[in-house]
Chains A and B, each alone.
Chain A
Amino acid sequence: MPTIECKNLSFAYYGNKGKEVARVLNGLNATFENGKTTILLGESGSGKSSLLHLISGLNEDYEGDILFDGVDAHELSIRRRKLSYITQKVLLLPHITIFDNIASSLKYDDDIDPNEIKVRVRNIAKALKIEHCLSRKPKHLSYGQQHRVMLAKAFVGNPELILLDEAFTGLDEPTKDELLRLVKEWKKELGATLIVVTHDYKEALSLGDVAYVLEDGKIEVSIPKEGIRSSNHPSLVALREASKVEEKL
């Protein structure tokens, strides 16, 4: 499982004429430790999602370095990064079945036997209580069920790095609780490195080993696990108040 280091990372969005529109990361230095869960906090536009984009390899147009266990990210294809990236948006192929959507994460891996693919898809679907939906198409499923499919798709390939970008936003509380429990369980089982962008205190508290607060394109402060509950940092205080979650969690 990789340790990811970002060294002096800068990134900006450019307009049509090549003019810089917004600089979202500005010399960011951070380490995402092997097997740990890091929560990324910060205001909208602070660069949290952009950072996940860069780590995932979807955008390689940055300055500075991203290292996967010391190896420059430019040298690693997205596939070799063995990562799963889940966003709030449900990204399922509408014309194929749920089985095919989940299996698509494995089909291009030549090392996996097709029978093994079937077993893995069925097992993860069972764990997520969507086994009966496998022969359906995405349009037949509710938003919550589509989220479960996204999660199944993300975890079925046993990823080493999992990026969650507000992945549970919009879900009802019981579903969210259940999915958080499963993510924790699987993360532990796989020993994967998890980076989570969230505006949800419960999520931060439930998953986080460490929280980084981003401001002005840099890590402003790093809060250890025990601090997530007690820290008086404005970002966490705001989260706590917003979520109105009881401290007994």
Chain B
Amino acid sequence: MSDKRVKRKIAETDFLEENLPQTRSGQFKDILKINFRLFLELGLILLGVFALLLAKVYFSYYFNAVAENSFKLGHISEEEKNSIVLWTFLISEGANVLLYPPVFIVLAGVLRIVRQLCYTEGIIFSYDFKQGVKDNWAKFLFIGLFFALGQFIVALVYAFMGISFLSAIPYALSLLLVAPTFIGATYFFSTYENKLGRGLLNSMLIHLRASWRSLLLTAVIVAPVILIELFLGMIIVKLVIYSVLIVLCLPIVILAGYEMYLYVYDTNVNVYHFPEAIRRGLYISEKEKESINQKLEEIKGGKNEK
């Protein structure tokens, strides 16, 4: 190809270390700007693994519509229709036990890629993706199963108790404590090596220490689903919006979550246990380096004393 056709852009001045992002929010924008295509690819991978869940949404709608039409045509009684709707709901919620685990296992790979981006450590896509899955598949499988079972239990309570103060308790618990803890755990296991129980406990403690942040992330993930389910009736529109959200928004939310948790880890975990990991991937000034080294010395000194 001739040079005339290939326009090569060259910066006028050197790219200096100080030009690297200095805050997590700055890094979020920076990563998105440079790696937008990679995020689209991650979104498409997620869409692939979410496809079965979307199919489930479609089939639930289909069975409900058939029951509704049959009832309108007088082929079945209202009781039979309600029974079909209830069983469709319960089977659909129960199917999550099979459908969530693959989503979460893929999420382990996606989170590893996002972590590498935040740490600016370079990505070899297939290797890092596989490595993320290899390192954390069992923990993410557990989290996926837990979410599915939790959701099923909430669905059972809702199905048999209706909406009441009592049935709202598991909802509230799952939204305020369980979901943020488990969402946080996916980030925690992608960042630190911890056994399952210990990691979940740590995630819960981190959620309690930085609750408004983890609740905000949970809300950003859960709210669109609730809004779509409440206000969108047309199944095709619903599926299209879900697909768009999964491809375009989910990877970005995952990145935003990672940046947020890295900030939380710096102030709640790294400062006490892993000073060398503080502000990893960001520009660190000489002054900050000094204070990090000092912290490291203190920790080493403390260990020696012990």
Contacts and interface: CB of A to CB of B under 8 A. Distances in A.
A144 B14 contact: yes
B124 A107 contact: yes
A74 interface: no
Nearest to A90: B8
A121 B3 CA distance: 28
Contact of A145 (B15, B37, B120, B124): B15
Contacts, number: 66
Given A132-B20, A135-B34, A99 B122 contact: yes
Nearest to B130: A114
Interface string A75-104: 000000000000001100011010110010
A143 interface: yes
A145 B121 CA distance: 19
B34 A136 contact: yes
B10 interface: yes
A239 interface: no
Given A103-B122, A103-B124, A132-B20, A95 B15 contact: no
Interface residues of B, number: 25
A118 B122 contact: yes
A46 interface: no
B12 interface: yes
A117 to B, nearest CB: 6
A142 interface: yes
A126 interface: no
Given A107-B124, A118-B121, A145 B14 contact: yes
A139 B10 contact: yes
Interface in B107-147: 117, 120-124, 127-128
Nearest to B37: A95
Given A95-B37, A137-B34, A118 B124 contact: yes
Contacts of A127: none
A139 B11 contact: yes
B122 A146 contact: no
Nearest to A146: B10
Interface residues of A, number: 29
Interface in B1-53: 3, 8-17, 20, 31, 34-35, 37
A140 B11 contact: yes
Contacts of B31: 135
Q: Which of A122, A135, A143 has the most CB of B within 10 A?
A: A135
B122 A143 contact: no
A127 to B, nearest CB: 16
Nearest to B31: A135
Contact of A140 (B15, B37, B122): B15
24 contacts: A89-B3, A90-B10, A94-B8, A94-B9, A97-B122, A103-B124, A118-B121, A118-B122, A118-B124, A134-B120, A134-B122, A135-B34, A135-B117, A139-B11, A140-B11, A140-B15, A141-B10, A142-B10, A142-B11, A142-B13, A142-B14, A144-B14, A145-B11, A146-B10
Interface of B: 3, 8-17, 20, 31, 34-35, 37, 117, 120-124, 127-128, 283
